[in-house]
Structure 1
Amino acid sequence: MKKLINDKNNIVEEVVQGMVKAFPEKLDRVENETIIVRKNKKEGKVALISGGGSGHEPAHAGYVGYGMLDAAVCGEIFTSPGADKVLAAIKAVDSGAGVLLIIKNYSGDIMNFEMAGEMAAMEGIEVKQVIVNDDIAVENSTYTVGRRGIAGTVLVHKILGAAAEKGYSLDELVNLGNKVIGNLKTMGMSLKPCTVFSTGKESFSLADDEVEIGLGIHGEPGTHREKMSAANEFTEKLFEKIWNESDVKEGEKLAVLVNSLGETTPIELFIVNNHLHDLLKEKKVTVAKTFVGNYMTSLDMGGFSITFLKLDEEMEKLLNAEQDTIAF
């Protein structure tokens, strides 16, 4: 394994230090914890927290800042942060209006974030949650009961973050979050596995001429494997699956996210996006916003995912609202 690391047991701590040193005007940390927090805490607003295992950068710490998250809890690579760490984040960012946890649907994340919310409640902090389950590929997987939470989570951060800045209450944010999640569909595919920095091993095996459709962001199995082909063919396969689940009608608006899983280059992503827009034009829907790039990766995995978010007027306005983070 050739990776620019030092002590494999200290990777996340060094990453957190490096991020804060790179963006001291935007980011801070909770002392002695791998928790990134917004530099200028805003009093009187609902605080938003997300996080999970590291290895998906820029998610989630890259979305901490004005108009998005107030804190990101960084677990070890592909490992959920403990409840005590999540509780430390809750206490750091609570400003009296309550705290909303945005949790990807993985069993470890749900257990630890929920436990932290219960502990915070005993200390008088009101905590509620939304659970993102945008991955349409499989119903249950290695670490999940129900559908997994993947790249669409970033759009939940953006919309709820904007709403929180505008003064939405905790209950209003929960209702909005569940509406967004209901309209959010994602599916991905892999060209090659990632190498897990902390172990030096690949997360799964693929033959040189083989791809996996519908895999998870930790290398969990997808729907099937097939032979390598052209970009347009894979774009069409994912498009059809996502479209059939999205309940989008002619004339309605979509936000589209084309996400690299880590290794896939901008050249490849823009080729995918080019054909994707052609397919959507044939369906006579309006693409109101497009995002292309690294939003939720899987270390150095080769591959990409596509996300559709069906928009109403409220969601579109919030998606376009001002934000100031290092990665969005």
Structure 2
Amino acid sequence: MKKFMNRAETLVAESLAGFVAAHERLVVFGADSRFVRRRNLRPDKVALISGGGAGHEPMHVGFVGEGMLDAACTGHVFTSPTPDQIIAAIRETDRGEGCLLIVKNYDGDVMNFEMAAELAAEHRIATVIVRDDVNPSGSKRSQGRRGVAGTLVFEKLLGAAAEARWRLDDLSALGEDLNDRIRTVGVSLSGVTVPETERETFVLNEDEMEMGVGIHGEPGRARLKFATADEIVETMLKAILKDLEPKRSDKLLLFINGFGGTPVSELYLAYNSTRARLQSLGLTVARSLVGTYVTSLGMAGLSITVAGLEERELSLWDAPVNTAALRWGG
């Protein structure tokens, strides 16, 4: 295994130190370097906190800043942050308006964030569990739909609403509503090698692909024969549209996300194919995002996220954002 690292056990800490140093105008370490937070916390807004295992960068630390998260807690590679990390983030970022925890639906994440909320009961806390995966059976890591690349959409919309001073109950209600209107499916052409174990998560033949993968290097729900990009997109969109059932009057956000090992040119090719297919069905793509944002280490693969957004959410999507990974407006 060849990776740019010193030791597997220090990889995450050294990477986070580099991230904070590189983006020091936007972020700082929280107490005892247990989490990353906005450099300038606002006293008049609900604090948004998310997190998960390392290996998904730029999510979540890359989304800390104006218009998105106030803090992100990072565990070891593909391992949930501890309750102590989350409690420290709650206590440091809550300036009186409460905290909204945005949690991907994986057993470890849900358990540790719930435990932290219970132990920090002196704060007003609400939790949104992200469930955007099209696969309702989940995986060995989760019960039900997993939280995958659509988590970015939750964090952007809720972050903009918090910046506009929405109250905690209203933010929680929006998050729950979004769970019915955002769907994601992923495909992979390879497994990944986890630094601590030096083992590849799964192995494919040259003519195979994994359909329905998550973001922890785990296998998908079906192993299929490799096909052309148009055919792959057709399979992915069929699953999304069957689940989402958008109407022709809906305005859609189309997000093509790379898993860490897919060239940008291939992501844009997939976007072109996906958009053309949606338009052929009479559906309107109102907003778009293409890039590598929610990764699975260096997995060769991508995901398609489709979200049906109302006018208020379109405005929230367009609102200024200033983070290491997302930046527009303002």
User: Into which bin does the TM-score normalised by the smaller protein fall?
Assistant: over 0.9
Q: 1:265 aligns with which of 263, 266, 276?
A: 263
Match of 1:127 in 2: 125
Q: Distance in 2 between the 1:210 and 1:68 partners? A: 38
Segments of 5+ residues of structure 2 without an aligned counterpart are none
Match of 2:231 in 1: 233
Within-5 A mapping of 1:245-324: 245-324=243-322
Check whether the contact 2:34–2:88 (CA below 8 A) recurs between aligned residues. Answer: no
TM-score, normalised to structure 2's length? 0.97
Runs of 4+ displaced beyond 6 Å: none
Match of 2:196 in 1: 198
SS of the residue aligned with 2:323?
Answer: coil
Match of 1:20 in 2: 20
Q: 1:213 aligns with which of 187, 192, 211?
A: 211
Segments of 5+ residues of structure 1 without an aligned counterpart are none
Amino acid at match of 1:163: A
Check whether the contact 1:193–1:202 (CA below 8 A) recurs between aligned residues. Answer: yes
Amino acid at match of 1:315: E
Cα deviation, 1:93-141, whole Å, max 9, x if unaligned, reads 11110000000000010000011011111xx211110000100124131
Cα deviation, 1:213-255, whole Å, max 9, x if unaligned, reads 0011113332211121111110110011101111211121000
| 2:118 matches 1:118 | yes
Check whether the contact 2:212–2:221 (CA below 8 A) recurs between aligned residues. Answer: yes
C-alpha displacement at 1:5, in angstroms? Answer: 0.4
Match of 1:55 in 2: 55
| 2:310 matches 1:325 | no
Amino acid at match of 2:73: V
Q: Distance in 1 between the 2:281 and 2:318 partners? A: 24
Q: Distance in 2 between the 1:103 and 1:45 partners? A: 19
Match of 1:174 in 2: 172
TM-score, normalised to structure 1's length? 0.97
Q: Distance in 2 between the 1:69 and 1:280 partners? A: 31
Match of 2:4 in 1: 4
Check whether the contact 1:137–1:215 (CA below 8 A) recurs between aligned residues. Answer: no
- Measured on the aligned residues, the alpha-carbon RMSD in Å equals 1.0
SS of the residue aligned with 2:80?
Answer: coil
C-alpha displacement at 1:156, in angstroms? Answer: 0.3
Identity %: 44
Name which of structure 1's ranges 205-214 and 217-226 shifts more when overlaid on structure 2: 217-226
Check whether the contact 1:263–1:302 (CA below 8 A) recurs between aligned residues. Answer: yes
